[in-house]
Amino acid sequence: MLKNMSQLDKIPAYLRKPIFEKLFSIAEYISLTKEEKTMYDSSLKYKWDNKNVMNYAVSTAETWGEAKGMEKGEYKKALDIAREMKKDGLPLAQISKFTKLSAEEIEKL
């Protein structure tokens, strides 16, 4: 089979297993001309670079999204605490000190 591989147009049905498919793809690569190999390699590099860029962008977006979500959650918690403190009659300065909210935000509650 290995000796006659170059004469085959397609992989026979009984050889459609991953290991044989990999062997055939290696054989196809080896049969390319130098120019075709260069084009193929640059195409693969371009594909891998794009994949890495996408992975980095997704990772960065997830990290940014988590940070923004935590920030919003902390702000909402500070508003809830300020609302309770205001309901209990504590002075605005003290509420602002503990919640890190501005006096204007506290007055709107």
Per-residue confidence (pLDDT) for residue 92, from 0 to 100: 85
Tokens of 102: 């501005």
Per-residue confidence (pLDDT) for residue 5, from 0 to 100: 65
**pTM tops 0.85:** no
Indicate the SS3 state at residue 101: coil
pLDDT band at 2 (very low <50, low <70, confident <90, very high): low
CB 95 within 8 A of CB 86: yes
Cα 75 → chain centroid: 27
Per-residue confidence (pLDDT) for residue 50, from 0 to 100: 96
Tokens of 47: 């594909």
pLDDT tens per residue across span 71-101: 889 889 888 888 888 888 888 888 888 888 8
Per-residue confidence (pLDDT) for residue 6, from 0 to 100: 64
CA contacts within 13 A on the Cβ side of 46? 6
For the chain, the structural domain boundaries read 73-109
pLDDT tens per residue across span 25-80: 887 888 889 999 999 999 999 999 999 999 999 999 999 998 999 888 988 988 88
Residue 101 and residue 82: Cα distance in Å, rounded?
8
